[in-house]
Amino acid sequence: MKLLASDLDGTLLFRHLNNGSKPGDIDAIKQLQKEGHLFGCCTGRTLEGALRSFDNFYDLDFYIASSGAVICNEKREIIYEARVDFETIKSIYETYKDRVNIVLQGRDYYSFKEKEEGIHFTRIYDLEAVRNEPLYGLCLFTEHLEILDEIEVELKEKYPQVSGHRNLGAIDVVSRECSKGIALNKVKELFNADKSYGIGDAKNDLPMIKEADVGFTFHTSADEVKQHADIIVDSVEEALEKYA
C-alpha cells in the first residue's frame, strides 16, 4: 500500500478556482483511493482549517495539520499531537506582536483582531483565555518579508524548543518535534504503508518533499524547492499518474 500527502494552498487548493480544486485532481484522488491506496493532506493550516477545506469534496484517509503538530485519521479523530506550552506561546506573542500580525493555532485559529469576511477564527481579548486550551503554535505574518527573515533567525536563537516553517509571507511556529516530513513518516508507520509520496509548492513543504520516498513539486515552484524534488509536475493529477 502506498500513500500520498499533499500540501493544500497552491498545491491542491486554489483561491482563483470556483470550487477550490481542479476537477482532474479530484478525479485522480478518488481513483487512487478506489485502488486501495491512501491520500491525505499535509498543511500548515489548523486542523479545523484543513477539515473545512474538504467538507464539500471528498473524505481523506488522513489529515496532517499545523505543520505536523496534529494528525487525524479518516474518521477525523486526532491520533497524534505535539503541543507548545502556554508560556512559550505567550513569550513569542509578546516578543513579536508589534512587528507582525499573529494568530494562535489551536484546533482552530485564535486572534485578537475583529472578524474578517471569509476568515474563520475565534476572537480573544486576553491570552489567558486560551491558557488551558490545546495550543500547537502560532502563525506570524506580514507583507514585509525582510522582517520575517529577521524573525526566522531570531526564533532559532531564542526559542530552541520550537521550529519555524516559512511559507511565503508567514512563519508557522510549532514544536521542535514537528515538521511536515516528520509527520509524513509517522503516518507511513501508523498506516503500515510500503511507500510514501509527498507533493508541495513552497519552502515549508521541503521537509515533506525530502522525507518522502518520492517527492513532487511544480515547474512553477521556487528553484530552492525544485532542487530537492525527485519529480517535477504540473498538477496533483500528473503526480498521481506518475505515482501509479
3-class DSSP assignment, residue 48: helix
- DSSP label at 159? -
3-class DSSP assignment, residue 233: strand
pLDDT at 188: 97
Burial class (CB within 10 angstroms; exposed 0-12, middle 13-18, buried 19+) of 201: buried
- Could you tell me which of 188, 240, 229, 233 has the C-alpha nearest to residue 205? 229
pLDDT at 15: 73
pLDDT at 17: 63
- CB-based burial, 141-175: b 16+ in 10 Å, e otherwise: bbeeeeebeebeeebeeebeebbbbbbeebbbbbb
User: Which residues, other chains included, contact 189 with Cβ-Cβ below 8 Å and sequence gap of 6+?
Assistant: none
> For residue 168, which phi and psi values (nearest 5 degrees)?
55, -110
Q: Tens place of pLDDT for every residue, the chain, 244 residues?
A: 999 999 999 899 887 665 678 889 989 999 999 999 999 999 999 999 888 877 656 689 999 999 999 999 999 999 999 999 999 999 999 999 999 999 999 999 999 877 655 567 889 999 999 999 999 999 999 999 999 999 999 999 999 999 999 988 999 999 999 999 999 999 999 999 999 999 999 999 999 999 999 999 999 999 999 999 999 999 999 999 887 6
pLDDT at 34: 93
Alpha helix (H) residue ranges in the chain: 23-34, 47-53, 86-96, 145-158, 180-190, 206-211, 223-226, 236-243
**159, three cell numbers:** 526559542
Whole-structure pTM value: 0.92
d(CA 42, CA 7): 5
pLDDT at 243: 75
pLDDT at 162: 98
d(CA 60, CA 54): 8
Q: Could you tell me if 62 and 72 are in contact, meaning their C-beta atoms sit under 8 angstroms apart?
A: yes
Q: For cell 511559507, what's the residue? A: 167
d(CA 31, CA 54): 17
